[in-house]
A and B are shown apart, each in its own frame.
Chain A
């Protein structure tokens, strides 16, 4: 009888071989397959239980529910492959395909390890962007926004396949039952956060993911985050402050947003805060994205024959567009001239970002210890869901 078959146990099919990372959601382990899965490596995400019902009983977190719900429906070359889910000892385990690298490591390899410093090859950058946008386009066409794109969440296999990972903050944006802002007040790690979020936009769109893609692109080229602001922490009442430092970093490169470029600018709740940047003791003196780009090409010794070139700059300008309505969509970005050589997925590097690349990237470091130091920029600043929602507010929003 179905109800009486003993449930499958994770440890009968997988053997943990190391610890990869940890976050607000829980921990990720590396595992090798046993019993029918021999020879394959997996990443197993173990979710932390939810606080409700403490101390004795715990529930399933919103983050786990989300990731379970979405991963079961999604399937794309450029989105992390979800293998199966286990529930045992009151804990959710999600099994994913494993990737040897991620973009954070690749950037780190170039900025810290390789001497003399060499840039990420132009062809590699192009292929990574192309595959990343393909995954993004698929998610958005499935009405899913990721909301936490950053180098640490972009996986790369040793075969050069780029995959978007960590859908713990992702959500469906079609006909939300409550405003997106009500669900999670803070989304996207600060350095990759789009200006409409910084200015307090309530009904943001998938364009927030494209801003993050722009930031990732810039980071691949410059080997450091383009807008490396400092996060203003929440006060004791959990009010979310204006992220002044982050906005300032953006303005220093792109200049102040204006209504000409962004007609709805003044409708954002925090747009007045921009004034505090003007009035600062040292008001930012914007350098412009073109100058920034030219500097990066120089600093990182991009060779003339293998640089992301003018088309790369043009794409970046359209991704880092202040106005979310005119910012390129993933679909539009894929049609940009920068990707002409990809010939709709048939060209060189369309599926393998290491094609023709002579650099040997070190494989992911796996620690045998659980509490290893995490790399900077890997922490998500998201809040536990619902922690900010007073029940009365939720009832009203409930329709």
Chain B
């Protein structure tokens, strides 16, 4: 693994609003009646989608595959590697120039794969670029495999990252199967724009902040657990507290379960808090357990 000097990964330069949980006061409030925000997204709509049917509980996501356990991968390692791979996909995407939605879909694929498959058998260093390849096709902005391979080599010089077109194409088949051929993923971005507008908060500063927050949620497993519009609401909630915008009345009118939104917000803030302790060494150590 190249580490910092190769520019392999540096979390500081990853676009992310710098946040600290301590700046926020999240008080409990009375629950609201859950109502469904209609968000007809890509094909059909979210409530009838394969995405909705596949949502998992956090406990189901946080299962380290027995084969990975054998190699000494802990739950922390597991999360760390997935986060690292999400960043990796994001980096690669910048080279091949695809939009955020493709990245988000690719990360969702990668996270779904690891709810079913082991990292031992499905090496994340191959799964990550392959997910980007597949997502680019599913999102109708195809990136050619040879282009991906070219940038892969540019990004990482070491042999653990050295993959050829045939590897990507072979892994694509395995990933498709692991995904049960479900390729349509819904994301918080569209809901976010609608919600910002509805709340009258669609100025540049709030848009940038909330958009960045949503981007960061892909470093976590939220997309596997929560409906996209709830993730969007949590990001909007955090941003409004940070920027001291009073959104209480607006949230009340939405008639959603505010506890769910606040819980997701807390998860995001916890993530930022822990994120500061993550060093490249820890990631290298976790990854090296896969292929010593």
A interface residues (Cβ-Cβ under 8 A, vs B): 1-3, 7, 52-53, 56-60, 62, 65-66, 68-70, 72-75, 85, 87, 90, 92, 141-144, 171-172, 174-178, 183, 385-386, 391, 394-395, 397-399
Contact between A70 and B43 (Cβ–Cβ < 8 Å)?
A: yes
How far apart sit A205 and B101, CA to CA, in the bound complex (Å)?
A: 22
Q: Which residues of B contact A53 (CB under 8 A)?
A: 145, 165-166, 169
Which parts of B41-84 form the interface with A (CB within 8 Å)?
41-45, 48-50, 65-67
In the complex, what residues of B have CB within 8 A of residue A52's CB? 144-146, 165, 169
Chain B residues in 8 Å Cβ range of A399: 97-99
B4 at the interface (CB under 8 A from A): no
B134 contacts chain A at the CB level, 8 A cutoff: yes
Interface residues of B in 128-165 (CB under 8 A from A): 134, 137-147, 165
The contact of A172 among B42, B98, B166, by CB within 8 Å, is: B42
Q: Which of B118, B170, B176 contacts A3 (CB 8 A)?
A: B118
How far does the alpha carbon of A66 sit from the alpha carbon of B138 in the complex, in Å?
6
Cross-chain pairs A/B with CB under 8 angstroms, 24 sampled: A1-B67, A52-B144, A53-B165, A57-B165, A57-B169, A65-B137, A65-B183, A66-B140, A70-B184, A72-B50, A72-B182, A73-B48, A87-B177, A142-B44, A143-B43, A172-B43, A174-B41, A174-B42, A177-B102, A178-B140, A386-B144, A394-B142, A395-B96, A399-B97
Given the interface contacts A65-B183, A172-B43, does A177 sit within 8 Å of B101 by beta carbon? yes
Residues of chain A within 8 A (CB-CB) of B144 are 52, 386, 391
Closest to A184 in B: B140
Shortest Cβ distance from A94 into chain B, in angstroms? 9
Known A177-B102, A398-B99; judge A172-B173 contact (CB<8 A). no
CA distance A83 to B176 in the complex (A): 17
- How many residues in B have their beta carbons less than 8 Å from beta carbons of A? 47
B289 CB-CB contact with A under 8 Å: no
Chain A residues near B183 (CB-CB < 8 A): 65, 68-69, 72
Closest to B115 in A: A2
Is the CB–CB distance between A398 and B177 below 8 Å? Answer: no
Q: How far is the CA of A336 from the CA of B183 in the complex (A)?
A: 37
Shortest Cβ distance from A397 into B: residue: B141
Q: List the B residue with the shortest CB-CB distance to A177.
A: B141
Bound complex: CA A222 to CA B181 (Å): 42
By a CB distance below 8 angstroms, the chain A residues around B145 are 52-53, 59
Interface residue? B116 (CB, 8 A): yes
| Contact partners of A92 in chain B: CB under 8 A | 176
The answer to whether A73 touches B50, judged by C-beta atoms less than 8 angstroms apart, is yes
Asked whether B170 lies within 8 Å of A69 as measured between CB atoms, the reply is: no
Query: Nearest CB to that of B165 among chain A residues?
Result: A53
- Residues of A contacting B66 in the complex (Cβ-Cβ under 8 angstroms): 1
A-B contact number at CB 8 A = 119
Which residues of chain B from 177 to 195 have any CB-CB distance to chain A below 8 Å in the complex? 177, 181-184, 190
B169-A59 in contact (CB<8A)? yes
CB distance A60 to B137 under 8 Å?
Answer: yes
Pairwise interchain contact A143-B141, C-beta atoms closer than 8 A: no
Q: Give the residue name and chain of the B residue nearest to A141 (CB).
A: B40
- The smallest C-beta distance from A81 to any residue of chain B, in angstroms, reads 15
Question: Taking the complex as formed, is B121 at the interface, i.e. its CB lies under 8 A from any CB of chain A?
Answer: yes
B50 touches A7 (CB 8 A): no
B116, B142, B177 — most chain A CB neighbours (10 Å)? B142
B120's nearest neighbour on chain A, judged by CB, is: A3
**How far apart are B53's CB and chain A's nearest CB, in angstroms?**
10
In the A-B complex, list the 4 residue pairs whose CB atoms are closest, starting with the nearest: A398-B97, A69-B183, A73-B43, A57-B166
B117 interfacial by beta-carbon distance below 8 Å: yes
Closest residue to B45 on the A side, CB-wise? A142
A-side contacts of B138, CB under 8 Å: 65-66, 69
**Least Cβ–Cβ distance between B276 and chain A, in angstroms:** 31
Chain B min CB distance to A13 (Å): 16
Bound CA–CA A141/B98 (angstroms): 27
- Name the CB-closest residue of A to B134: A65
Chain A neighbourhood of B190, CB < 8 A = 175
Query: Does B172 touch A at the CB level, under 8 Å?
Result: yes
Q: Are B166 and A56 in contact (CB under 8 A)?
A: yes
* A142:B43 contact, CB within 8 angstroms: yes
Residues of B within 8 A of A144 (CB): 43
A60 to B137, CA, bound (A): 9
CB distance from B60 to the nearest CB of A (A): 13
- Cβ distance A343 to chain B, nearest Cβ, rounded Å: 26
Residues B184 and A73 in contact, CB atoms below 8 Å apart? yes
Tell me the minimal C-beta distance from A332 to chain B in angstroms: 19
* A69/B117 contact (C-beta < 8 A), A178-B141, A399-B99 known: no
What's the Cα separation between A191 and B155 when bound, in Å?
A: 48
Of chain B, the residue at the smallest CB distance from A138 is: B44
> Closest residue to B97 on the A side, CB-wise?
A398
A60 touches B141 (CB 8 A): no
Contact between A74 and B166 (Cβ–Cβ < 8 Å)?
A: no
Give chain B interface residues in 82-107, CB to chain A under 8 Å.
96-99, 101-102
Residue numbers in B under 8 Å from A90 (CB-CB): 173
The chain A residue sitting closest to B147, CB to CB, is: A391
In Å, the complex CA distance between A59 and B164 comes to 13
**8 other A-B residue contacts (CB within 8 Å) besides A53-B169, A177-B102, A183-B140:** A2-B116, A60-B137, A74-B43, A85-B181, A87-B177, A178-B141, A386-B142, A399-B98
